[in-house]
Amino acid sequence: MSRPTRRAFLEKSLLAAAAAASAPYASALGAPRRRRQVPPSEVIRIGVIGVRGRGRGHIGEFKNLPGCQVAALCDVDEGVIGPARKSVPEAKYYRDLRQMLDDESIDAVSIATPNHWHSLATIWAVQAGKHVYVEKPVSHNVFEGRQVVAAAAKYGKIVQHGTQARSAPATKDAMEWLRGGGLGAVKLAMGLCYKRRESIGKVEGPQKPPATCDYDLWTGPAELQPLMRQNLHYDWHWVFNTGNGDIGNQGVHQMDIARWGLGVETHPRRVASCGGRLGYVDDGNTPNAQVVWLDYGDKEIVFEVRGLATDPYRGTGIGVVFFGERGTLVSASYEKVQAFDHDGAVIATFEGDASHGQNFLDAVRAGDPGKLTAPILGGHLSSAMGHLGNISHLLGEESALAAVEDPFGGSAAANEAFAGFRAHLAANGLDPAQCRIRRGPALTFDAAAERFTGERAEAANRLLTREYRAPFLLPEI
């Protein structure tokens, strides 16, 4: 049977969306309301969507910022809302985000749901007249990230991406210094996510979701699958149906800084991945060990995920290292960045932190997206870096680690990173002759069209989007 074209798929989705218009809370799916600008003297009322983990951080930040009130909370699992409601007892509680979006007293929302909800929740929110702070990654795939960018522009709403380093004076000053020639020419950045991740375990069959959770609503636009892991919450990161692995989790922050420092404001022209889920057998299917090469022509970014035990690199395990003519710049934290000469002596230090949430509120109050430190287009570009790397991974062929040499062609930096990656796996007791990894193809990407070209393009382009299920259909913008 022939596979439907993307246009046919979108037309089918639009017809289904029209049919869903009579469903409860359909106003969030239909024409947006015209909302007033928030006068400087008025409090900005914000609703937080997803309050189990990162969302509680949003609550803590926003409720302590002047001129802001956390007025509503939303989570599909009533079993996890206790700490959030205790923190802001006066806030309304909604189980369904569509009901929150229908609340005309809410000016803005912050979104800290699982990744697969980020884009749809953002689009529905701006259609309902809300401004949005959305956690990284802005999207679960490349296509929906572009739709978020289009929706923010079409509906004239402030949409901030949760790459908090963009508001930190230390990182901002360091990137300005670097791009101003502080280290001379800089052509290479290495991003690191050396973050120990234990096995999530392996179950024998489908598990029951928590009784307190609406699992259908939790799944939303993703494929409705049986729960095949011990924990519903957080471990969704390690399943492609809902998450993107650590390259699309922690890695978005570091890839964003790498792209920022190199001054690349586009997608890579080529991408390749090597790695796998290694060191244990569990119910996850995203890589916990991965090297991704992103080729921007005269500049390149190499990103590495290590979920097994490892030593830091250049003094950091979660960070970015820029290699310049006169030394290196190491971003080991958002609030302190240091530059070193080739002998290892410190030549510059940048310090200072600031509230990313405050920057969002300032832009909302001014009605000016130009005030955002992390506008949504940049969030889309940085989120897509991980998506593209994972597409190469998913199209890869399995091979014994010992049989793979210089998998990244002419990139000396990426091949050197892979050599270190091989040594890291051996140090964790993995036999190179027995260890099986996926060697992904080097895919060519048309940045302007956001489509793959050349060899394997057809298969790769199918992975730029997903099938959405009614009524959680992605609107065409």
* Structure confidence by residue, pLDDT tens digits, 138-184: 999 999 999 999 999 999 999 999 999 999 999 999 999 999 999 99
* Average pLDDT score, the chain: 93
DSSP state of 74: E
Residues 6+ apart with CB under 8 A from 128: 27, 28, 32, 33, 101, 102
- The mean pLDDT value for 36-60 works out to 89
pLDDT score of 15: 40
Helix H, strand E, coil C: the string for 220-247 is CCCCCCCECCCCCCCHHHHCCCCCCCHH
Q: What does the pLDDT read at residue 17? A: 42
Mean pLDDT calculated for residue range 24-38: 49
Q: What letters, b where the CB count within 10 A reaches 16 and e where it falls short, cover 159-180?
A: bbbbbbbbbbebbbebbebbee
Question: Average pLDDT in the 68-87 region?
Answer: 97
Amino acid letter at 472? F
Please report which confidence band the pLDDT of residue 476 belongs to, taking 50, 70 and 90 as the band edges.
confident
Task: Give the N- to C-terminal CA distance of the chain in Å, as an integer.
Answer: 29
pTM of the prediction? 0.93
Q: Report the distance separating Cα 378 and Cα 265, nearest Å.
A: 8
Share of the chain above pLDDT 90, in %: 91
CA 433/CA 417 separation, integer angstroms: 19
| HSE-CB of 407 using CA atoms within 13 angstroms | 34
| Mean pLDDT, residues 357-379 taken together | 98
Candidates 208, 210, 242, 238; CA nearest to 224 is: 242
- pLDDT 10s digits, 418-456: 999 999 999 999 999 999 999 999 999 999 999 999 999
State the Cα–Cα distance between residues 246 and 306, nearest whole angstrom: 9
